Amino acid sequence: MNSYSHSTRLLVAIDCIIFGFDGEELKLLLIKRRFEPEKGKWSLMGGFVNEKEDLEVGAERILHELTGLHDIYVEQLQTFGKVNRDPVERTLSVVFFALINIHDHNAESVEVHNACWISLKQMPALIFDHEKMVQMALERLRYKAALHPIGFELLPEQFTIPQLQKLYEAIYDLKLDRRNFSRKILSTGLLLDTGEKNANSATKKAVMYRLDKERYESKFNHFWYFMPVTT
Amino acid sequence: MNSYSHSTRLLVAIDCIIFGFDGEELKLLLIKRRFEPEKGKWSLMGGFVNEKEDLEVGAERILHELTGLHDIYVEQLQTFGKVNRDPVERTLSVVFFALINIHDHNAESVEVHNACWISLKQMPALIFDHEKMVQMALERLRYKAALHPIGFELLPEQFTIPQLQKLYEAIYDLKLDRRNFSRKILSTGLLLDTGEKNANSATKKAVMYRLDKERYESKFNHFWYFMPVTT
DNA sequence: CCAAAAGTGTTGAGCTTACACCCATGT
DNA sequence: ACATGGGTGTAAGCTCAACACTTTTGG
């Protein structure tokens, strides 16, 4: 039974936008492309879909290859399919974006792949339509982080509220009121006080929190309002 | 230059979820599949991507083929790519969802395709993973319609506020307060009073409004809060 | 004149914002 | 002691939800 035989088959790639946060700025993990076309240019990490591999599995494979990490936050963004987006041959790209703790990656594999963490604000030109992909991913991140508690994915296991605030300020490129932010976050009931205090701080040490995983899972799809409403 | 030659090519389909609203219920335009496998079963409208055709163009082609319509609201949902989702051969499906005025379709082409408007609440079993697609599309519609003014896409050019309210009640499967709803909608400044009144109503005739296209375009991506906040 | 649906007004509760003040720490 | 950053409290203003009342129309 081969009823589809006359239809065209297409090359299908997976590209991954990897967000990280260094405490000050939102960053992307980008690579220098190692093959033609556009060899040497900046690009998203990607690869082709294997014949017997689900898309999500492919994305995880690619992410693991570059970062050494498993079980990270990954979400399918959208599929890019303009006919001429790749000059060699028509290639669909199923784009995923991932949020990781920037200190958690495997330095070796990052080096092997010629990869670098680059601040979003200083992003170089990227190959093909990768800039559009990043643009869309940033929009999605902003959209989603305003309503759902995904910011935590970019921070270490334990973090302080001021750290979280800096993250939100980086995502939305604005300043927030310290007192109101703290109240808003704590009122979600998603944070657990670990009892420990931040050692880094030069002044008063902030309380370290961690996610209440159970509440996080069960309440993830409720709407929160982390950002000030600016109509 | 053929650097990708050793990679696998895949069949790529486009499937479309078509929402409509009859004044009471949210409906889907579904078809009875005309070929094997699963011939005779209910299915989403779909087709294969042509070799020289952008994905969005393909979606529009497929939507036009079934409804006779152009320039309708279409949004890419997500790509489904489980290895075994199609028993004949591995096939990716790029899924789009569309919102149309249910009275605007071409009855002939609908008939030719064996298609039917079916209430979401009485949805039959669908082939492959099409039910998951519908589920996800409904979630996306609910999500988006709570924050952006897309409901209008499901109504005629001119409509009354009570009609719009019924639509929202159908989307979210709940009852809303007439007075608060009306105020909330009017306060967006997106509606223009046409001066005309609804003829259908058996009692007091409601004012007919139409979208202020300019404000709609420019304010589309602002956040609204059409739905009551229920944390 | 009555029923049913549409339109307008009002009020109180609760949330958000904007601010002031106090505490802890290293130099 | 003081500068810096973290934590808590509070009052004013605004928004939203919950309600009552009036208007229009057909029968």
Q: Is residue A3 pLDDT above 70, yes or no? A: no
Select the residue from A6, A9, A85, A230 to test the B interface by mutation, using most B Cβ atoms within 10 A: A9
Asked if residue B132 and residue B159 are part of one domain, the reply reads no
Which of B's residues 84-143 have CB atoms within 7 A of nucleic strand D?
none
Which has the higher per-residue pLDDT, B98 or A228? B98
Residue A44 phi, psi dihedral angles, 5° rounding: -75, 155
Q: Is the pLDDT of residue B44 over 70?
A: yes
Whether residue A105 is contained in a domain is answered as: yes
Asked whether residue B231 is domain-assigned, the answer is no
Do B181 and B82 lie in a common domain? no
| Share above pLDDT 70 across residues of chain B, in percent, rounded to a whole number | 97
Percent of chain B with pLDDT strictly greater than 90: 85
Are residues A124 and A184 located together in one domain of the fold?
Answer: no
Give a yes or no: residue B228 inside a domain: no
- Among residues B127, B146, B165, the one where a domain terminates is B146
Lowest mean per-residue pLDDT among A177-191, A193-207, B37-51: A193-207
Residue at which a domain ends, from B146, B181, B211: B146
pLDDT for res B3 = 66
Burial tier of A30 (Cβ tally within 10 Å: 0-12, 13-18, 19+): buried
> Same structural domain for residues B99 and B203?
no
- Residue among A82, A58, A10 at smallest CA distance from B82: A58
| Residues B141, B176 share a domain | no
Report the DSSP beta bridge partners of residue B79: B94
Q: Check residues 150 to 189 of chain A and report those whose beta carbon is under 7 Å from nucleic acid strand D.
A: 160-162, 178-180, 182
In this structure, the answer to whether residues A118 and A22 fall within a common structural domain is: yes
- Residue A45: name the closest of A58, A54, A104, A152 by CA: A58
**A12-65 pLDDT, tens per residue?**
999 999 999 999 999 999 999 988 889 999 999 999 999 999 999 999 999 999
B54 touches chain A (CB under 8 A): yes
B128-151 pLDDT, tens digit per residue, is: 999 999 999 999 999 999 999 999
Whether A7 sits inside 8 A of B10 (CB atoms) is: no
Cα dist from A109 to A31, A47, A102, A222, B83, whole Å: 11, 15, 14, 37, 28
- Whether B6 is in a domain gets the answer no
**B168 in Cβ contact with B145 (< 8 Å):** yes
pLDDT at A1 over 70: no
| Boundary-marking domain end, from B97, B121, B146 | B146
Is some CB atom of chain B closer than 8 A to the CB atom of A84? no
Q: What is the Cα–Cα distance from B168 to B172, expressed in whole angstroms?
A: 6
Would residue A231 count as lying in a domain?
Answer: no
Q: Which residues pair with B19 in a beta bridge?
A: B28, B99
Tell me, yes or no, whether A227 lies in a domain. Answer: no
Q: Which domain holds residue A212?
A: 151-219
Distance B226 CA to D19 C1' (A): 20
Task: Tell me how close the Cα of B65 comes to any Cα of chain A, in angstroms.
Answer: 18
Q: pLDDT of A210-224, one tens digit each?
A: 999 999 999 888 888
Rounded to whole angstroms, the distance from the CA of residue B57 to the C1' of nucleotide D13 is 50
Q: Are residues A22 and A95 in the same domain?
A: yes
pLDDT at B230 over 50: no
Q: Is the peptide bond before A87 cis (omega within 30 degrees of 0)?
A: no
Shortest alpha-carbon distance between residue B8 and chain A (Å): 6
Q: What is the CATH number of the domain that holds A179?
A: 1.10.10.10
When divided into structural domains, chain A yields a total of 2
Are residues B102 and B195 located together in one domain of the fold? no
Contact A89 B35 (CB under 8 A): no
